[in-house]
């Protein structure tokens, strides 16, 4: 009974993924018949249709923007976490930003970007995300589990603070940095509303583009699923590679 | 202690990049929203000051009150089901050989792209074109307010359930096994052990999820944007989406800023109440 229930829940949760992978290769005849029972088939046609819609350049654009954001966010978080660990009293500041979801600031952020003349430039997708309190929290939690004596020993050996951080502390928390980076990447990759308002169609990220595609072709499951599948793959691969570390890092942040 | 003060300063400098970016793109907008809310501004032409008129208009706006109601309803649906399911699943998988696998699988939806996920949901479950509609009775969630809300709630739960399970599970692991053992020795049946020993000890987890969940309920309007666009008849137009629509579909940014300010006050009140709640644990 228990196993069956768990199995059903997992199945229900994963169903959209299975469906995405299945429908992405479904021949259009079956799609247009509107009935899945009318047959099986395998085709790459949906994939080919992605190119004229401009899918691939979007994918690479999104990869580099989200990648740059993840890198910058981990770097600023590493520095800030080190400051916190050394007793700089800023924890309250980060906690406060953590309590206010960034989504709520959409309108004023738009106004500020307007003042800074950053609207409709790639910078609008980058700069606002270069620091995240959540990433700081994750890295800080990882650092706190290290013995502080490490830092003191390195200081006695005459190493400067920058050197201590980058050659002693950073390698030790590296797995957590990777996990935090993946989460940062995922969070940025998933933004829909912000890129939609902050930049024009030229700089739309993949997610915005897919949401738009779904409005234009609501009945073309094949095309939509192919787009969805290939926009999910980068994240899926990252997640499968680092799954254990990500779940652990998350658990660490929960316990603290 | 030579150079301690200097080092202090250096550590402060380490925090600067993060503080700088948060300052410009978080704290500054956070304060600017008040100034913006006194403008009439479409984003295209120069803003025109209107004082506090936007607030007066907002509190007289039936759409605003409708979306307050929708947010309230959404929270009322999401929170209890989020808590119950998280606890239920965490209890079900505790100690099973597939525990890790299930946690990994449940966490997945939270990470994958919202756009892709909602596309998969939409093509599966749309009442008219959906793949399941051909052989399952799919309620018309594009027309019936009740089912539209159910859909948004289900999508939100689907995305965050893995997180809830992780939280409960981490707390389950912290329960000393001797306690459970002692209850068993005293003749408690498995159900009784869960009810009278385990559940009361999960109180901190429940409180924590309550906090996370209520912030979630106030902010999660992406699902609304992707699935229902606030419809039908505004039934799923939660406050976050109401603000988005005002600002970027009706181009009334000043008015939207006033609504944002009200929403921020609400969020801060909730956060404050939560702080109190968490201190008790």
CATH of the domain at B274: 1.10.3720.10
CB under 8 Å to B255, separation ≥6 — which residues? B40, B54, B57, B58, B246
Cβ count within 10 A of residue B1: 5
Residue B91 near residue B194, CB atoms below 8 Å: yes
In angstroms, the CA A117 to CA A124 distance is: 9
Q: What distance lies between CA A161 and its chain's CA centroid? A: 30
Residue B148 near residue B76, CB atoms below 8 Å: no
Q: What distance lies between CA B174 and its chain's CA centroid? A: 26
In angstroms, the CA A152 to CA A166 distance is: 15
In 3D space, the residue among A232, A106, A53 whose CA is nearest the CA of residue B115 turns out to be: A232
Which of B12, B114, B129 has the CB atom closest to A83's CB atom? B12
* CB-CB neighbors (< 8 A) of B175 in chain A: none
In angstroms, the CA A46 to CA A26 distance is: 8
Q: What pLDDT does residue A35 have?
A: 65
Min Cα separation B182/chain A (Å): 24
CB under 8 Å to A137, separation ≥6 — which residues? A94, A98, A253
Residue A239 near residue A250, CB atoms below 8 Å: no
Residues of chain A with pLDDT under 70: 31-39, 252-256
B122/A218 touch (CB, cutoff 8 Å), yes or no: yes
Q: What distance lies between CA A93 and its chain's CA centroid? A: 24
Cross-strand partners of B81: none
Which of A40, A77, A108, A151 best tests the B interface by mutation, with the highest count of B CBs <10 A?
A108
In angstroms, the CA B9 to CA A83 distance is: 10
* CB-CB neighbors (< 8 A) of A87 in chain B: 11
Residue A30 near residue A38, CB atoms below 8 Å: yes
Residue B197 near residue B180, CB atoms below 8 Å: yes
Which of B15, B123, B256 has the CB atom closest to A23's CB atom? B123
In angstroms, the CA A16 to CA B155 distance is: 11
CB under 8 Å to A165, separation ≥6 — which residues? A78, A79, A82, B14
Q: Is residue B126 part of a domain?
A: yes
Return the ∠ at Cα A60 (arms to A59 and A62), rounded to 5°.
Answer: 65
Residue A18 near residue B123, CB atoms below 8 Å: no
Q: What pLDDT does residue A72 have?
A: 96
Chain B contact for A36, CB < 8 A?
yes
Nearest chain A residue to B263, by CA: A104
Cross-strand partners of B39: B49
First-residue to last-residue Cα distance in chain B = 40
Residue A207 near residue B112, CB atoms below 8 Å: no
Q: What pLDDT does residue A77 have?
A: 94
Q: Is residue B254 part of a domain?
A: no
CA dihedral B187→B188→B189→B193, nearest 10 degrees, is: -150
B26-30: list long-range contacts, CB under 8 Å, 24+ apart.
B26/A97, B26/A100, B26/A102, B26/A105, B27/A97, B28/A112, B29/A105, B29/A108, B29/A109, B29/A111, B29/A112, B30/A100, B30/A105, B30/A108, B30/B264
**3-state SS, one letter per residue, for B15-52:** HHHHHHHHHHHHHHHHHHHHHHCCEECCCCCCCEECCC
Chain B (57-86) residues lying within 8 Å, Cβ to Cβ, of chain A: none
Q: Is residue B46 part of a domain?
A: no
Which of B15, B114, B158 has the CB atom closest to A13's CB atom? B158
Q: What is the dihedral sign for C-alpha B54, B57, B59, B64?
A: negative
Domain hosting B180: range is 63-237+264-280
**For the structural domain made of A22-31+40-255, what CATH number should be given?**
1.10.3720.10
pLDDT digits (tens, 9 = 90+) for A55-100: 888 889 999 999 999 999 999 999 999 999 988 888 888 878 877 7
Domain ranges of chain A: 22-31+40-255
Say how many domains are in chain B. 1
Mind giving me the DSSP string for A136-153?
A: HHHHHHHHHTS-THHHHH
Q: What global pTM score does this model have?
A: 0.84
Helix (H) and strand (E) counts for chain A? Answer: 15, 0
pLDDT digits (tens, 9 = 90+) for B242-254: 888 887 888 888 8
Mind giving me the DSSP string for B169-201?
A: HHHHHTS-HHHHHHHHHTT--HHHHIIIIIHHH
Cβ count within 10 A of residue A68: 17
Q: Is residue B18 part of a domain?
A: no
Chain A contact for B115, CB < 8 A?
yes
Taking only the tens of pLDDT, chain B with its 281 residues reads 446 777 888 888 898 999 999 988 888 888 888 888 888 877 777 777 777 888 888 888 888 888 888 888 888 888 889 999 999 998 888 878 888 888 888 888 877 777 778 888 877 777 776 777 777 767 777 777 888 888 888 888 888 888 888 888 888 887 888 888 888 888 888 888 888 888 888 887 887 788 777 777 777 777 787 777 767 777 778 888 888 888 788 888 888 888 888 888 888 888 787 777 767 65
Which H or E run contains B130?
Answer: none
Return the CA Rg of chain B.
23
Cross-strand partners of B48: B40
Residue A88 near residue B12, CB atoms below 8 Å: yes
Chain A (233-252) residues lying within 8 Å, Cβ to Cβ, of chain B: 235-236, 239, 243, 246-247, 250-251
In angstroms, the CA B219 to CA A165 distance is: 36
């Amino acid at each position: 009974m228990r196993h069956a229930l768990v199995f059903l829940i997992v199945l229900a949760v994963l169903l959209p993924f299975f469906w995405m992978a299945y429908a992405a290769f479904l021949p259009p005849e079956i799609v247009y018949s509107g009935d899945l029972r009318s047959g099986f088939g395998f085709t790459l046609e949906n994939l080919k249709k992605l190119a004229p819609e401009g899918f691939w350049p979007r994918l690479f654009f999104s990869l580099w923007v989200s990648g740059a954001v993840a890198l910058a966010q981990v770097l600023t978080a590493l520095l800030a976490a080190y400051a916190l660990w050394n007793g700089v009293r800023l924890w309250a500041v980060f906690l406060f930003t953590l309590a206010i979801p960034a989504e709520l600031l959409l309108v004023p952020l738009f106004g500020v970007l307007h003042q800074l003349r950053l609207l409709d430039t790639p910078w609008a997708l980058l700069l606002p995300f270069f620091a995240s309190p959540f990433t700081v929290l994750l890295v800080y939690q990882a650092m706190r589990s290290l013995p502080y004596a490490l830092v003191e020993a390195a200081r006695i050996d005459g190493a400067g603070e920058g050197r201590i951080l980058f050659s002693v502390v950073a390698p030790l928390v590296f797995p957590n940095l990777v996990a935090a980076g993946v989460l940062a990447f995922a969070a940025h990759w998933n933004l829909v509303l912000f890129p939609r308002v902050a930049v024009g169609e030229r700089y739309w990220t993949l997610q915005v583009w897919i949401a738009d595609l779904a409005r234009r072709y609501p009945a073309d499951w094949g095309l939509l699923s192919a787009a969805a599948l290939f926009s999910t793959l980068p994240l899926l691969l990252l997640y499968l590679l680092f799954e254990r570390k990500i779940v652990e890092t998350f658990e660490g942040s929960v316990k603290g | 202690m030579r150079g301690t003060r200097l080092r202090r300063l250096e550590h402060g400098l380490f925090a600067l990049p993060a503080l700088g970016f948060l300052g410009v793109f978080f704290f500054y907008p956070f304060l600017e929203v008040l100034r913006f809310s006194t403008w009439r501004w479409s984003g295209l032409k120069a803003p025109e000051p209107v004082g506090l008129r936007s607030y007066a208009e907002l509190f007289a706006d039936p759409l605003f009150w409708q979306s307050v109601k929708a947010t309230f309803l959404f929270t009322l649906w999401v929170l209890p089901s989020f808590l119950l399911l998280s606890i239920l699943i965490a209890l079900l998988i505790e100690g099973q050989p597939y525990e890790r696998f299930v946690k990994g699988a449940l966490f997945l939806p939270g990470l994958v792209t919202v756009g892709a996920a909602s596309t998969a949901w939409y093509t599966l479950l749309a009442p008219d074109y959906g793949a399941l509609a051909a052989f399952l009775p799919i309620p018309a969630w594009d027309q019936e307010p009740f089912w539209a809300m159910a859909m948004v709630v289900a999508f939100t739960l689907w995305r965050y359930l893995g997180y809830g399970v992780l939280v409960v599970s981490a707390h389950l692991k912290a329960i000393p096994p001797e306690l459970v053992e002692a209850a068993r020795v005293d003749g408690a049946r498995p159900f009784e052990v869960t009810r009278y020993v385990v559940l009361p000890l999960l109180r901190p987890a429940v409180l924590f999820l309550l906090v996370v969940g209520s912030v979630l309920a106030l902010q999660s309007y992406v699902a609304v944007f992707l699935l229902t666009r606030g419809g039908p008849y505004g039934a799923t137009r939660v406050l976050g989406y109401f603000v988005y629509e005002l600002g970027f579909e009706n181009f009334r940014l000043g008015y939207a800023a006033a609504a944002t300010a009200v929403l921020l006050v609400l969020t801060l009140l909730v956060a404050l109440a939560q702080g109190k709640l968490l201190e008790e644990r």
